[in-house]
Structure 1
Amino acid sequence: MLFIIFILFVLLLQVFHRRLLHRLLPEGADRWVTSALLLIHLPLALYVAARLTGLAGFLPWLRFLARGGVYFQLLTVMNLLLWGLSALLWRTRHGRRDPGGPEDPARRRFLRQTTALGTAFAAAGVLYGRREAFSDPEVVHLDLRFPDLPPGLDGIRIAQISDLHTGPLVKPAVVARWRALVQAERPELLLVTGDIVDSLPEEAQTVADAFRDFPAPLGRFAILGNHDYFTDPRPIWATLEAGGFRLLENRWELVRRNGDDLALVGLQDPMARHGHFRDIRFGPGPLPELAVRGLPPGTWRLCLSHRPSDWNLARKTGARLTLSGHTHGGQVNLIPGVSSALLVGPYTAGLYRKGGDALYVNRGLGVVGIPVRLGAPPEITILTLRRG
């Protein structure tokens, strides 16, 4: 269903983009617009069909070509926005003259020039965004206080990373650099909140290799995200556990520190209910009652939930602190100070509180779709829990 919505959205964008290109291009050159758009999007359409039939893993080269069609969507959106802004500027200055007659040549020339200039600025923004995406992540240090935190957990130092998306856009050298930066913070506990891979199970080996023997004395734990359920997640699970991670999918484990226990509870991602984007179930999705079954009452609880929109379910586990990812902080935020992740929910990045409970949404490390971040730099979070 998600792919079908995506394809319909792409088609709608290109209908408007085709009209725009016919107006921007010189006469004669515009007759090739429809053919060019079809050629650009053919690999994307074929890849979508391969994903729907479960054959994408046999055509890795097709994913590379399809990514060009995804990049073109960014150019399309920018062109349409810039054209609309240019038209608004012209109308503000000159008013609307004879809307039923032929287009004013001066107006058309102005719109061409401003759109071309805007596209140049947009290209510069993409180059900057690529640099932001692959620069060293911001290391966010956060002290969180809870009056009911057991004394033995006071001062516990936790590293959270999320949304690595290892695969075509995130190479092993980048993941190895992330490991070095996290290790330099000397956390006692390492938590990974999903989207280990971009889409294929074998991509998890990069993470397992990079974080093998990571010196976290209280352990390494992870949950899977929606991208980890694009295909059968069991190989990802096996690869990470062979590398020393413990997977928490609707289950819990206790971590003991200075005589007190911390319960780590993991919720399964809703994508488990329909992997392959078809009616193939790899799990029941997030079930708070299953995740805490058998957990000793009164144990202080921290929940890993990939999607911050599931915070209400995480709170049902009794978790005082929930750690999430998924949003990438919007990844590409075209309006300064406004996260594009608001389109999918109110929890976009950073710390949120409700009553005495807290949610922290990590912006993630990797990228999805395009190798660009704007206004949402990658993040490593170091949380220190305090009593009081």
Structure 2
Amino acid sequence: MIRWFIFLLIIGVADYYAFQSLRTITKSNWWYALYWVFTIAVLGNFVYQFYSFNRSDGFSHSNSYAVGLLIAMIVPKTVLLLIMFGEDIFRVPQAVYSYFTQDSGDVTKHFPARRKFISQVALGLAAVPFVSILYGIYKGKYNFKVLKYVLHFEDLPEAFDGYKLTQISDIHSGSFDNMDKVKYAVDLINEQQSDVILFTGDIVNNKATELEPYVTVFNKLKAKDGMYSVLGNHDYGDYVRWSSEEAKKQNLEDLKTLQKDIGFDLLLNENRFIEKNGQRIAIVGVENWGKGGFKKAGDLQKAKSAVDKDDFKILLSHDPSHWDAEVVNDDYHYHITLSGHTHGMQFGIEIPGWFKWSPVKWRYKRWAGIYEELGQYINVNRGFGYLAFPGRVGIWPEITVIELKKGSKKTNA
């Protein structure tokens, strides 16, 4: 109840200032009516979706859009609140001074009128996140980007010089609402003509049934040396209420079968070798292991059994927190770790090669892109799909292509 009170208080204060800005620049009752109809409709829909949410079904498309529209409304109003409240920092002292120096009992008459220019600037600035969020909901979530890197290693087997791998992560098939866009992304992955495709977890939101409509789409993925995958935290079905523990276990078994139908070799704390001309590299896959309350089913020691210390190793681990906690200081040297999980929070500002920022950086040390420590690399993929918020703003869905080169020089394309 306290949470709802705080929520409504924040909404009320934001609406007060947002409406003040609107009243300053227009006297049209039609605009006032439109403002309140939109506000009440968005809030009403969110409250309805909140109370009708069924944990047995999981997060639905209607739940997702209710969240998206609420964010699209709150963020611009927060911008208006900050600017208009900033104007009041100057208006209130003037009103107090006027009240004590002029003979008038009406307090409201002492407040200077709001400046139309300030309200126009406030509304203009608020329009930027409003339009951006709406774009992210309707276009940005399918704005797939291919990010290419070239990494050099002295100890890369010569047979694998120029070897290309494609990483995808966080498909979250239950969130999709446009089959054609997903087909386009699959074609885009195949166009990279990588030697191997590696998927780093969260193929569904909660249930295996979410993946069923997309099996015939994702089974079009092709790579001459195969496709390998691991599980993410959402793949275990931990975030919905099941009728029984047996139903939950069966869901996971169904998910494993569907991954096999797609063509993935699912690594459950296991490893595989890719061999060329008598040389090999190891693909090591752990189940989900994450800090901060996330499932810790991953067993790195078990996963690396049968792998030699001197093998060139590529590790698939869904959660990047695993890298700092267990991987980077392990007695084995993992040349490349591939992770996902963060989604880059699906929101941020990024100028490729120059600047990137997202609020998720306050939660995860490694949240997007390539990082290096102790001669080992981790790539945190920004995710293929989306979850909860039905869009992406500034942090676009990612297909990663990494080319391995033998030598000492390292460059990012």
Q: CA deviation at 1:244?
A: 1.4
Q: Please, which of 367, 370, 373 is the counterpart of residue 386 of structure 2?
A: 367
- Structure 1 residues 115 and 218 mapped into 2: Cα distance closer, same or farther (>3 Å)? same
State the aligned residue count. 366
Q: CA deviation at 1:74?
A: 4.1
The match for 1:131 is 139
- Structure 1 residues 114 and 88 mapped into 2: Cα distance closer, same or farther (>3 Å)? same
Q: CA deviation at 1:304?
A: 0.9
Partner amino acid for 1:15? L
Q: CA RMSD in A?
A: 3.6
For the pair 1:266 / 2:281, whether they are aligned, the reply is no
1:320-361 CA-partner distances (Å, limit 9, x unpaired): 111111222332116984222212212121111102101111
1:62-112 CA-partner distances (Å, limit 9, x unpaired): 6514631453034223312331133225646x6743469659372397776
Q: CA deviation at 1:31?
A: 11
For the pair 1:348 / 2:367, whether they are aligned, the reply is yes
Normalised to the residue count of structure 2, the TM-score between the two structures is 0.76
Q: Distance in 2 between matches of 1:46 and 1:63?
A: 15
Where do 1:78-157 residues align within 5 Å? 78-88=76-86, 91=89, 96-98=93-95, 102=108, 104=111, 106-107=113-114, 115-129=122-136, 130-135=138-143, 137-157=144-164
Q: Which runs of 5+ in 1 are unaligned?
A: 1-6, 276-282
Kindly indicate whether the alpha-carbon contact (under 8 Å) linking 2:79 and 2:126 is maintained by their aligned counterparts in 1.
Answer: no
Normalised to the residue count of structure 1, the TM-score between the two structures is 0.80
Where do 1:309-324 residues align within 5 Å? 309-312=321-324, 313-315=326-328, 316=330, 318-324=333-339
- Structure 1 residues 87 and 210 mapped into 2: Cα distance closer, same or farther (>3 Å)? same
Q: Which runs of 5+ in 2 are unaligned?
A: 24-31, 100-106, 239-247, 408-413
1:225-249 CA-partner distances (Å, limit 9, x unpaired): 2232345433222101122111123
1:146-187 CA-partner distances (Å, limit 9, x unpaired): 111122222211011112222243433222111111111111
Partner amino acid for 2:346? Q
- Structure 1 residues 298 and 271 mapped into 2: Cα distance closer, same or farther (>3 Å)? closer
Kindly indicate whether the alpha-carbon contact (under 8 Å) linking 1:44 and 1:67 is maintained by their aligned counterparts in 2.
Answer: no
The match for 1:56 is 57
Q: Distance in 1 between matches of 2:6 and 2:261?
A: 45
Q: CA deviation at 1:305?
A: 1.4
- Structure 1 residues 230 and 113 mapped into 2: Cα distance closer, same or farther (>3 Å)? farther
Q: CA deviation at 1:296?
A: 3.5
For the pair 1:299 / 2:300, whether they are aligned, the reply is no
Kindly indicate whether the alpha-carbon contact (under 8 Å) linking 1:44 and 1:66 is maintained by their aligned counterparts in 2.
Answer: no
The match for 1:278 is none
For the pair 1:246 / 2:265, whether they are aligned, the reply is yes
Kindly indicate whether the alpha-carbon contact (under 8 Å) linking 1:170 and 1:366 is maintained by their aligned counterparts in 2.
Answer: no
Q: Distance in 1 between matches of 2:36 and 2:213?
A: 46
The answer to which of 231-240 and 304-313 deviates more is 231-240
Q: Please, which of 330, 339, 344 is the counterpart of residue 345 of structure 2?
A: 330
Q: CA deviation at 1:17?
A: 1.0
Bigger relative contact order (CA 8 A; separation at least 6): 2
Partner amino acid for 2:57? A
Partner amino acid for 1:373? R
- Structure 1 residues 143 and 36 mapped into 2: Cα distance closer, same or farther (>3 Å)? closer
Partner amino acid for 2:393? L
Q: CA deviation at 1:368?
A: 2.0
Identity %: 26
Q: Distance in 2 between matches of 1:247 and 1:234?
A: 12
Q: Please, which of 179, 186, 192 is the counterpart of residue 185 of structure 1?
A: 192
1:185-227 CA-partner distances (Å, limit 9, x unpaired): 1111001112212333212234432232533111101112223
